[in-house]
């Protein structure tokens, strides 16, 4: 897949545009600093940290196999998203230590009410874009539904 390219303040593969608010979680000294800078160039501002306290358009989550419960972290990330917000989950590639299996990502995303929509391949990291599941539509009553008996 492609790397994070951008032109004119937007990135087609990362689905980011200028002035979006993106919160970064899980930063450590092993993250892809070039990708972070490119994202900040697209946004025209710095990434915000976990102390931001407002809704965001996207979450950039760096995650490694030893970081804990991925489903719990995705649920936490989802709570700060705007209605159309999404998560970019960055995990180490299979050849790297602390790799996270794709099946684990899918299962955790399902538990958190998110689904996989696309992926990117970036140096030592794989990115998985997770979007929010739509709430279920209310069930329509069929005309053949039993009516209550009146006495």
Domain 22-132 sits in CATH at 3.40.50.150
Q: CA 41, 93, 79 angle in degrees (round to 5)? A: 60
Enumerate residues 6+ apart whose C-beta is below 8 A from 55: 21, 80, 81, 82, 85
Residues of the chain with pLDDT under 50: 1-10, 136-137, 141-151
pLDDT of residue 133: 80
d(CA 42, CA 18): 5
pLDDT of residue 58: 98
Domain boundaries, the chain: 22-132
3-state helix, strand, coil in the chain (%, to 5): 25, 30, 45
Contact 114, 133 (CB under 8 A): yes
pLDDT of residue 13: 80
Contact 100, 65 (CB under 8 A): yes
pLDDT of residue 5: 44
Residues pairing with 56 in the sheet:
81
pTM for this prediction: 0.81
Contact 55, 85 (CB under 8 A): yes
């Amino acid at each position: 897949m492609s790397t994070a390219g951008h032109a004119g303040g937007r990135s087609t593969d990362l689905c980011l545009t200028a002035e979006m608010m993106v919160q970064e979680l899980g930063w450590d000294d092993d993250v892809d600093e070039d990708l972070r800078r490119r994202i900040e160039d697209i946004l025209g501002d710095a990434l915000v940290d976990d102390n931001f306290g407002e809704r965001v358009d996207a979450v950039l989550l760096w995650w490694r196999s030893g970081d804990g419960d991925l489903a719990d972290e995705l649920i936490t990330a989802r709570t700060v998203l705007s209605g159309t917000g999404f998560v970019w989950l960055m995990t180490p590639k299979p050849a790297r230590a602390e790799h996270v299996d794709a099946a684990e990502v899918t299962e955790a995303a399902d538990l958190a009410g998110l689904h996989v929509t696309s992926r990117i391949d970036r140096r030592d990291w794989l990115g998985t874009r997770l979007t929010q599941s739509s709430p279920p539509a209310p069930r329509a009553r069929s005309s053949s539904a039993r009516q209550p008996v009146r006495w």
